[in-house]
């Protein structure tokens, strides 16, 4: 573990810094927004209930759902730190709003009346009497908000904003406990640090002054972070490479990035984004310039069209439908990552499972694990059950992609929905059930590019086309296993492949 | 007779859902005079006091201060022209004694050196050692010391009119007696007009130039301390005075 951390010292430092900046920035904005709103509520009491209710509701929205609402919005939408900060601010608002409101209301009314009687204006009374006396309560709210933000900020990684969540998500995607800990432990330490610092301020004899000192420190940190951020490469803007949040996608993202860098283009990596829709919205908005999509997914999940047709027809259909969206679809990379229903060899023997149609006989008792997306997709479970004519009696268990194989190997579920190129299939001798009714469309991996940016990045399309037909299923599976099973870094695996395929010039 | 420094004419006030707090109250206090409003709790005396600095606004009737209807005053300017002393809680608990005493000059925009000098002068006037007390906070003082600070603060901007609500209420008898005497001397020296609210009959008789005995939102008897002591109206006033005096 120590050598593991030593290897990643620089990256860990960067992610921690990103995390701290996300928390500081969002907490600061929540204070700037929440304290005045809280004060307003004490002056216009009728506003208090609806505002507190709204902030309460915001807090109950799951983070990924909140991102789903925010990404398509103009101006504030898109991916990256901005949207992560907006979500974090919305979450931090409730404790700050509530504590400002109750903090001011709990000031002794006799003291407030004395202040009025001395001839203070409303704003003088607020500044000289109410805010100072409410400060400990307000600070307690800020403390809660900051500590909670440290935890919630891990979700920033789902929208490409970095932070320690990157390790957590990457660790989950590649079933690497060390990575998960490398993200979770520093996050916990950060939370304790913030909590301790703010507790000191709360308990200090002059909380006003201490809060001021802390605010200045936070500001200095933010400015320092803004200055320390590496300047974007001069000349043309860097190419932004995106990927979804599972091993293969990260490897492919690293592969594209390495290829582009080899051709002399500057690259900004936004890997591990939180899902298909997120990547699609991001590339349409030009927030990322390219990522790798699968034809069947584009057809059914993005375009919402019925599955069907051979691989060339599907590719043609997607190209035609994508052009008006401002997207260009490159040449297939050479492998079909279809969905795979996977079971353990013992279960396969015991239940006689070799084809998907065999599942019908056990529909009453079978326990299936899958990732949430598969429940909703047009090419997902509902269509599959219809095509094969069975209904699962036990509701399927939703899990993160990275946890599916652990659950299968531990015997918690009998069948999981994975991908044909999952490295863990071969490594563990698992059985892939045959799609004997040809339910799944082809899922050829293709690069999807933001057409409007191609002119600005001369050589981008040519560089990407060098990969056309060069990655077959077997190669992809081996790379996935090198990461999932061998715990190697996706970037190293991708680079090694490119070199052995003779695709790197240096 | 000179124009009154403060006056209430036929003032009515009823709080939401309650009985009348003030029920046609009329009062006048001449410049330089100490008028004591004496009554049991619930008699409306504190409400009457608060109409003078517009902390309470009457439903009906007129209130005037320094010759002007309070409704025509800017309420902030009005309150800054009136010294206000209340029992115990009047001091701002998070500020030092110096900051408390200098509050009104600060609100009036005085320069820091001028208000610091004024603060020291007033603490001395109220019988407190400025060097020792200035940096302390209210909770570090005894009740009597706090009341001295409250008086010093009310006098800070040299207002012509002082409103005092049970200023010596929560003190032990000895301290109360000493502060009452000092207050009386100070008032004679400075010539301030004072309206003082109390439920303590000996205090009213000792401090007032005139005493107005209140019950149920009205004045039931008004006169000099001697008149109230020697010729209380039969009924409530007589009982009230008799119960308090040996």
From first to last of its 246 residues, what are the pLDDT tens digits of chain B? 467 889 999 999 988 777 778 999 999 999 999 999 999 888 899 999 999 999 999 999 999 998 899 999 999 999 999 999 987 668 999 999 999 999 999 999 999 999 999 999 989 888 889 899 999 999 999 888 898 899 889 888 889 999 999 988 878 888 889 889 989 988 988 899 999 999 999 999 999 999 999 998 999 999 999 999 999 998 889 888 888 877
Phi, psi angle pair for B142, to nearest 5°: -75, 165
Residues 118-147 in A contacting B (C-alpha not used; CB under 8 Å): 118-121, 124, 128-129, 132-133
Determine which of B49, B79, B137, B138 to mutate to test the interface with A (most A C-beta atoms within 10 Å).
B79
- Point out the residue among B78, B80, B92 whose CB comes nearest to the CB of A115: B92
pLDDT-wise least confident of A42-56, A243-257, A366-380: A366-380
Give the span between the Cα atoms of A22 and A225, in whole angstroms.
11
**pLDDT, mean of residues A413-420:** 91
Q: Where in chain A is the domain with CATH 1.10.3720.10?
A: 2-228
**B94/A132 Cβ within 8 A:** yes
Q: Kindly list the residues from chain A whose CB atom is less than 8 angstroms away from the CB atom of residue B89.
A: 108, 110-111, 114
Residue A8 has pLDDT above 90, yes or no: no
**B104/A114 Cβ within 8 A:** no
Strand order across the beta sheet in which A327-329 lies: A267-270, A239-242, A290-294, A445-450, A327-329
> What does the pLDDT read at residue A233?
40
For B82, name the nearest residue in chain A, comparing CA atoms only.
A118
pLDDT band at A31 (very low <50, low <70, confident <90, very high): very high
Residue pair A247/A480 in contact (Cβ under 8 Å)? The answer is yes
Q: How many CB pairs under 8 A join A and B?
A: 47
Residue pair B109/A143 in contact (Cβ under 8 Å)? The answer is no
**Strands B82-86 and B161-165, bridge-based pairing:** parallel
Give the span between the Cα atoms of B236 and B220, in whole angstroms.
9
> What does the pLDDT read at residue A223?
79
Residue A392 has pLDDT above 70, yes or no: yes
For B103, name the nearest residue in chain A, comparing CA atoms only.
A118
> What does the pLDDT read at residue B170?
76
The token pair that represents B88 in the structure block: 């115990």
The residue count of chain B comes to 246
pLDDT band at A229 (very low <50, low <70, confident <90, very high): low
Of B6, B43, B41, nearest to B27 (Cα)? B6
Query: What is the dotted CATH code of the domain comprising B6-81+160-244?
Result: 3.40.50.300
> What does the pLDDT read at residue B53?
92
Determine which of A118, A126, A205 to mutate to test the interface with B (most B C-beta atoms within 10 Å).
A118
Q: Kindly list the residues from chain B whose CB atom is less than 8 angstroms away from the CB atom of residue A114.
A: 84, 86, 89-92
Please state, as a whole number, how many other Cβ atoms lie within 10 Å of the Cβ of residue A161: 26
Strand partners, A6: none
> What does the pLDDT read at residue B2?
66
DSSP one-letter string for A241-256: EE--SSHHHHHHHHHH
**B92/A128 Cβ within 8 A:** yes
- Point out the residue among B91, B94, B104 whose CB comes nearest to the CB of A133: B94
**Strands B161-165 and B193-198, bridge-based pairing:** parallel
Average pLDDT, chain A: 87
> What does the pLDDT read at residue A234?
42
**pLDDT, mean of residues A419-436:** 88
Q: In the CATH hierarchy, which fold is given to the domain comprising A339-432?
A: D-Maltodextrin-Binding Protein; domain 2 (3.40.190)
* pLDDT tens by residue, B206-243: 999 999 999 989 999 999 999 999 999 988 898 888 88
* Cα dihedral B74, B80, B81, B85 sign: positive
The token pair that represents B96 in the structure block: 């030092």
Residue A2 has pLDDT above 50, yes or no: yes
Please state, as a whole number, how many other Cβ atoms lie within 10 Å of the Cβ of residue B212: 26
- Point out the residue among B55, B94, B95 whose CB comes nearest to the CB of A117: B55
Of A502, A473, A393, A387, nearest to A438 (Cα)? A387
Strand partners, A158: none
- Point out the residue among A108, A118, A132 whose CB comes nearest to the CB of B79: A118
> What does the pLDDT read at residue A137?
92
**B104/A116 Cβ within 8 A:** no
Determine which of B50, B51, B107 to mutate to test the interface with A (most A C-beta atoms within 10 Å).
B107
Please state, as a whole number, how many other Cβ atoms lie within 10 Å of the Cβ of residue A224: 12
pLDDT-wise least confident of A59-73, A254-268, B204-218: A59-73
Residue A442 has pLDDT above 60, yes or no: yes
The token pair that represents A169 in the structure block: 């998500």
pLDDT band at A78 (very low <50, low <70, confident <90, very high): low
pLDDT band at A204 (very low <50, low <70, confident <90, very high): confident
Query: Is the minimum CB–CB distance between A113 and chain B shorter than 8 Å?
Result: yes
* pLDDT tens by residue, A339-387: 999 999 999 999 999 999 999 999 999 999 998 878 887 788 998 999 9
Phi, psi angle pair for A50, to nearest 5°: -60, -40
Q: Where in chain A is the domain with CATH 3.40.190.10?
A: 239-336+442-500
Residue pair A213/A453 in contact (Cβ under 8 Å)? The answer is no
> What does the pLDDT read at residue A232?
43
* pLDDT tens by residue, A134-146: 998 999 999 999 9
**pLDDT, mean of residues A3-10:** 76
**pLDDT, mean of residues A281-310:** 88
**B104/A118 Cβ within 8 A:** yes
Task: Decide which of 3.40.1450.10, 3.40.50.2300, 3.40.190.10, 3.30.2320.50 is the CATH code for A239-336+442-500.
Answer: 3.40.190.10
Residue A503 has pLDDT above 50, yes or no: yes
Residue A307 has pLDDT above 70, yes or no: yes
Domain ranges of chain B: 6-81+160-244, 94-159
Q: Kindly list the residues from chain B whose CB atom is less than 8 angstroms away from the CB atom of residue A116.
A: 55, 79
pLDDT-wise least confident of A3-12, A162-171, A232-241, A463-472: A232-241
Give the span between the Cα atoms of B148 and B192, in whole angstroms.
17
What percentage of chain A exceeds 90 in pLDDT? 45
Contacts 24+ apart (CB under 8 A), A169-174: A169/A245, A169/A272, A170/A250, A170/A272, A171/A402, A172/A400, A172/A401, A172/A402, A172/A403, A173/A245, A173/A246, A173/A247, A173/A250, A173/A272, A173/A401, A173/A402, A174/A247, A174/A402, A174/A483, A174/A484, A174/A487, A174/A490
Q: In the CATH hierarchy, which fold is given to the domain comprising A2-228?
A: MetI-like fold (1.10.3720)
> What does the pLDDT read at residue A174?
66
Please state, as a whole number, how many other Cβ atoms lie within 10 Å of the Cβ of residue B65: 24
**B78/A129 Cβ within 8 A:** no
């Amino acid at each position: 573990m120590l050598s593991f951390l030593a290897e990643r010292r620089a990256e860990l430092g960067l992610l921690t810094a990103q995390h701290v900046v996300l928390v500081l920035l969002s907490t600061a904005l929540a204070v700037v927004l929440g304290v005045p709103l809280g004060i307003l509520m004490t002056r216009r009491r009728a506003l208090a209930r609806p505002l507190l209710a709204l902030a309460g509701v915001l807090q109950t929205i799951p983070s990924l759902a909140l991102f789903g609402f925010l990404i398509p919005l103009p101006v504030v939408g898109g991916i990256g730190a901005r949207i992560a900060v907006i979500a974090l601010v919305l979450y931090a608002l409730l404790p700050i709003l509530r504590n400002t409101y109750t903090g001011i209301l709990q000031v002794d009314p006799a003291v407030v009346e004395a202040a009025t009687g001395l001839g203070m204006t409303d704003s003088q009374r607020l500044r000289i009497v109410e805010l100072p006396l409410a400060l400990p309560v307000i600070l307690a709210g800020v403390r809660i908000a900051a500590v909670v933000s440290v935890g919630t900020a891990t979700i920033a990684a789902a929208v490409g904003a970095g932070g320690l969540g990157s390790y957590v998500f990457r660790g989950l995607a590649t079933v690497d406990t060390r990575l998960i800990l490398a993200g979770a432990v520093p996050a916990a330490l950060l939370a304790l640090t913030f909590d301790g610092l703010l507790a000191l301020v709360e308990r200090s004899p002059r909380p006003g002054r201490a809060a001021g000192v802390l605010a200045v420190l936070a500001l200095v940190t933010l400015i320092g972070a803004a200055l320390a951020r590496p300047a974007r490469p001069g000349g043309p803007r860097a190419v932004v490479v995106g990927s979804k949040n599972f091993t293969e996608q990260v490897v492919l993202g690293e592969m594209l990035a390495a290829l582009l860098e080899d051709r002399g283009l500057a690259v900004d990596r936004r890997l591990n984004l939180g899902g298909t829709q997120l990547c699609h919205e991001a590339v349409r908005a030009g927030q990322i310039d390219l990522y790798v999509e699968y034809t069947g997914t584009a057809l059914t999940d993005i375009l919402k069209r019925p599955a069907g047709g051979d691989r060339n027809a599907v590719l043609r259909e997607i190209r035609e439908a994508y052009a008006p969206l401002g997207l260009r679809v490159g040449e297939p990379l050479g492998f079909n990552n279809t969905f795979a229903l996977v079971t353990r060899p013992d279960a396969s023997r015991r239940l006689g499972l070799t084809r998907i149609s065999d599942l019908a006989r056990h529909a009453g008792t079978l326990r299936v694990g899958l990732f949430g997306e598969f429940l909703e997709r047009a090419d997902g479970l509902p269509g599959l059950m219809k095509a094969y004519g069975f209904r699962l009696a036990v509701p399927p268990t939703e899990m993160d992609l990275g946890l599916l194989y652990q659950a299968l190997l531990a015997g918690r579920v009998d069948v999981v929905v994975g991908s044909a190129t999952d490295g863990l299939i071969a490594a563990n001798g698992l059985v892939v059930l045959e799609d004997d009714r040809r339910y799944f469309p082809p899922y050829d991996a293709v690069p999807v590019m933001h057409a409007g940016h191609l002119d600005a990045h001369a050589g981008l399309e040519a560089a990407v086309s060098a990969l056309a037909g060069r990655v077959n299923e077997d190669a992809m599976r081996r790379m996935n296993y090198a990461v999932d099973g061998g715990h190697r870094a996706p970037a190293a695996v991708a680079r090694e492949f490119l070199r052995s395929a003779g695709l790197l010039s240096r | 007779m000179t124009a009154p420094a403060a006056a209430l004419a036929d003032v009515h006030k009823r709080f939401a859902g309650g009985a009348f707090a003030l029920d046609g109250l009329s009062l006048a206090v001449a410049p330089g005079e100490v008028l004591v409003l004496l009554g049991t709790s619930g008699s409306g005396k504190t409400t009457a006091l608060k109409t003078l600095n517009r902390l309470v606004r009457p439903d009906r009737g007129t209130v005037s201060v320094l010759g002007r209807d309070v409704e025509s005053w800017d309420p902030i300017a009005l309150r800054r022209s009136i010294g206000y002393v209340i029992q115990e809680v009047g001091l701002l608990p998070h500020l030092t004694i110096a900051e408390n005493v200098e509050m009104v000059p600060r609100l009036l925009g005085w320069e820091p050196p001028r208000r610091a000098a004024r603060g020291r002068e007033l603490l001395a006037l109220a019988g407190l050692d400025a060097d020792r007390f200035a940096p302390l906070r209210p909770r570090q003082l005894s009740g009597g010391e706090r009341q001295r600070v409250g008086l010093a603060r009310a006098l800070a901007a040299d207002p012509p009119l002082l409103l005092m609500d049970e200023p010596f209420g929560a003190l032990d008898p000895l301290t109360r007696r000493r502060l009452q005497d000092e207050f009386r001397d100070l008032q004679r020296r400075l010539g301030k007009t004072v309206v003082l609210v109390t439920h303590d009959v000996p205090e009213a008789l000792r401090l007032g130039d005139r005493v107005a005995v209140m019950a149920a939102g009205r004045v039931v008897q008004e006169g000099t301390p001697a008149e109230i002591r020697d010729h209380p109206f039969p009924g409530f006033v007589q009982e009230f005075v008799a119960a308090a005096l040996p």
